[in-house]
Amino acid sequence: RLAPVAVLGGVLALAGCSGQAPSALDPAGTGAGRVADLWWVLFWISIAVFVEVMVLLAWALLFRRRRDARVRHGQPLRFVVVAGAGVPLVILVTVYALGLRDLAALGDGPEPGATTIEVTGHQWWWEVRVPGVAGATANELHIPVGEQVRIRLRTVDVLHSFWVPQLMPKTDLIAGEVRETWLRAERAGSYRGQCAEYCGTQHAHMAFLVVAEPRRDFDAWLARLGSPAAGPQTDAQRRGQQAFAQGSCAGCHAIRGTDANGQVGPDLSDVGARWSIGAGAVPNDGGHLGGWIANSQTVKPGNHMPPQPVPAAQLPDLIAYLQSLK
């Protein structure tokens, strides 16, 4: 009986966080649309059940005495069978059928020839690649708006779950398996995604962004992904590039077109253009970037990047260089 109250509470809670947090009830994609429609069906059914139960409760309380006076057998039994078994059966079968219908529709696809994007889960960031394109990026993927896009998911460590509330339902990343799902954005925009399976201390900071854009812009993104990173333009950026190559940075991170070819951490070829540092941990600006390089453990404790003994004089150069990579 508390279920409808909980649902109402959930609606109020969702209404309260309409700011930045994406809502599955504000769908902008095919999969999320089905989930939202199903949610509303369940919502109105639970409202109807709640009202019915309250009416029966009031009726029982008000007419208790009269019923005590003359109980007629047969009548109550029929009521118990119809209201207690028949009605719930109809509701459950209906909901089950709707669920199966949506499950089948979501499992059906994408179209052959759909663009494929490979997403690999790491503790705690997302590696993004496109088959046939040389480069990689992190925590941000672009998709052509209005098209079905195949998402191929793997994990290199523990379970994660790929979820873009406004575009698609969750798909788990299972160790040792390659799983496929798909999404389709109906309108252009940036949609926040989030790891939806607890995967360790920084599970909350395993966010990503899906940018749905016209085909032309998507093709431009693909071209950027496949080409070398921007070269340094200023003296500070040149010094920064040297510091990056000679220090420990290049042991873990790759920058396309340079000798830095580490494969442990995210590819940094376009780090200056990213929406955040540390998969949604902090904004991508000079101050946070410097703090992250010096000791990312104070920003995102437990992440796999050890504190870096960077000489203070080198830090501004490194920041200038990394910010120029876009």
Q: Which residue among 136, 141, 151, 195 contacts ligand CUA (CB under 6 A)?
A: 195
Kindly state the smallest distance separating residue 208's Cβ from ligand CUA, in Å: 10
Are 210 and 193 in contact, with CB atoms under 8 Å apart? yes
Residue among 105, 178, 190, 177 nearest 148 (CA): 105
- Identity of the residue, 152 or 203, whose beta carbon is nearer to ligand CUA in the bound complex: 203
| Long-range contact pairs involving 224-228 (C-beta distance under 8 Å, separation at least 24) | 224/135, 224/270, 225/130, 225/133, 225/134, 225/135, 225/136, 225/137, 225/270, 226/133, 226/134, 226/135, 227/135, 227/256, 227/257, 228/256, 228/257, 228/258, 228/269
Could you give the string, one character per residue 7-46, with x where binding to ligand CUA holds by CB under 6 A and - elsewhere?
A: ----------------------------------------
Residues 6+ apart with CB under 8 A from 4: 46, 47, 49, 50
E strand map for 34-135: 115-122, 125-129
- Cβ distance to ligand CUA smaller for residue 31 or 121: 121
160 lines the binding site for ligand CUA (CB under 6 A): yes
Residue 296 has which token pair? 């990312």
- Indicate the residue among 4 and 121 with the shorter CB distance to ligand CUA: 121
Sole window of 21-29, 190-198, 214-222, 260-268 interacting with ligand CUA (rule: CB under 6 A): 190-198
Q: Does 225 bind ligand CUA (CB under 6 A)?
A: no
Task: State in Å, rounded, how far the first CA of the chain is from the last one.
Answer: 54
Q: How far is the CB of 79 from ligand CUA (least distance, A)?
A: 48
- 138 or 206: CB nearest ligand CUA: 206
β-sheet bridge partners, residue 140: 209
Q: Residue 190 in contact with residue 221, Cβ under 8 Å?
A: no
Nearest to 299 by CA among 315, 283, 312: 283
- Which of 28, 32, 149, 199 binds ligand CUA (CB under 6 A)? It is 199
Among residues 118, 127, 197, 213, the one that binds ligand CUA under rule CB under 6 A: 197
In the three-class reduction of DSSP (H, G, I as helix; E, B as strand; rest coil), residue 211 is classed as strand
Contact 245, 259 (CB under 8 A): yes
Give whichever of 183 and 195 is closer to ligand CUA, judged by the CB atom. Answer: 195
Nearer to ligand CUA, 140 or 197 (CB): 197
Q: Does 205 bind ligand CUA (CB under 6 A)?
A: no
* Comparison of 150 and 170: residue with beta carbon closer to ligand CUA: 170
- Annotate each residue in 76-115 with x if it binds ligand CUA (CB under 6 A) or - if it does not, as one string: ----------------------------------------
Tell me: does residue 304 bind ligand CUA (CB under 6 A): no
**Do residues 150 and 183 make contact, with C-beta atoms less than 8 angstroms apart?**
no
Positions that interact with ligand CUA (CB under 6 A):
121, 124, 160, 195, 197-199, 203, 206
